[in-house]
Structure 1
């Protein structure tokens, strides 16, 4: 198969190489056709940031449609997230989306940050409630729900706004029916959603069917994680109450001490999941890159989405 040629069951991505720009809205990109996006977290040190930017350079081979940068609990990475989003958004030919949580923040704090993003040319925000304090103490701040943050974002600027979705329900949801009603309410005010990672395509499609029955038409981009660190990912999955298929995890554990073999299994599993999702009509794939290039590049290659012409960043 020639580089850049999709597998027969994977739809082609639109060629955005001549129209890509930093202030593109993600909802507009999704309306054009399938997207490939990447998620990073802000490193704690300047050296870490430099290494991440090198990784982002390597991932230009994927010609991503957009990337996103996470936001630490309670705003613990506020400045590093902001600086990374603003600088990367200015330097790349695709939009960089800022994650933003509201629990523990005041309205004025968030409005100030949003105004800063708007003035800096950032056009895309992922609105999240965020986790309450682990010790059970009051979170403080002016917000409780992501829908409240979406309302504030709409008031402050003309952003494309995404929210989170959990295919296997949010870990704090009392039951599946109430989870889906709450998610439908979020999607009614948002432009798109990105999911928590999961490992079975059926979980995604069941969620979409349930939301469709509630009248939801908002695009929901599935999140896929290459499991290059089974211990760490298992911990995150258990916290999110994401089911880990026994047979799949047994494969990871059988090669856990062989880095090359583990990478091969991780890429194969993530690519197979992504292919099944795209073939079934998912509007794109959002890869949790974990600030590394090798696994996302491998997934992109298997999908036939890796080698695409890049364009130079411009001042305009």
Structure 2
């Protein structure tokens, strides 16, 4: 099918239906700023996705990362490391993020796509639309089995490039942050809840959590934003005069994963080359004893989930 372009005068969105219906770029036209992250190995990942180069990894996480170009994925029916559920092996970050989606309609401002999953009995009907400076994704999850199905559902928009350079700040509607207990965090021990953005262990902190460190400072963070007063998050680059705001369905996704990699991780595949922030509306925490999804699709029924991203021009230096 090839890539789809949706656009208005205020936003341009590129979608790849052949690989997860992922959003590869999200551009503010007046500045030309693409707020999406691109991996250091994006050129090779493009070759792998197009079948021009073989995957060399023998596990699902490695295969996923070899094809990871950056951008925005939907993690369904599983998010995180591979595991077996109801006899099916759920690969890293789920089947939908790598599946080929079928396009049924496409105009300048809207695309409709669908995908039938194999690891769970779900069919997904998706509408992606742009209006003004906002892109909206609405997924209808239809259960075709005579039993209820519980699934992970996580939106995985990763931001990077020039958008993270300069004066950058994060704002969220959450009151607390819980570092992931299975992931090395350079600043905080896991499995504890910290007030956002103030942390109760100041001697371990190098900066406020809501302030993005300048280029050259190495840090990593992974965990769950919880206790939302309202389901929203915003990253603002005052230097570039651009902000992105996420709003989502709090009933379906009461959590948001926070992943920050600032040239910290020494091993494969990062080798201290990435600078990225992802704020990921989610049906589940990243880990811990409460790591169970709240999203259940009843037998022969459906659930509708919506998320919106608004790309805003603000007063800035540029």
Scaled by the length of structure 1, the TM-score of the pair is: 0.24
Q: Which has the higher strand share?
A: 2
Q: Which has the higher helix share?
A: 1
Q: Which structure is higher in RCO with an 8 Å CA cutoff and minimum separation 6? A: 1
Scaled by the length of structure 2, the TM-score of the pair is: 0.24
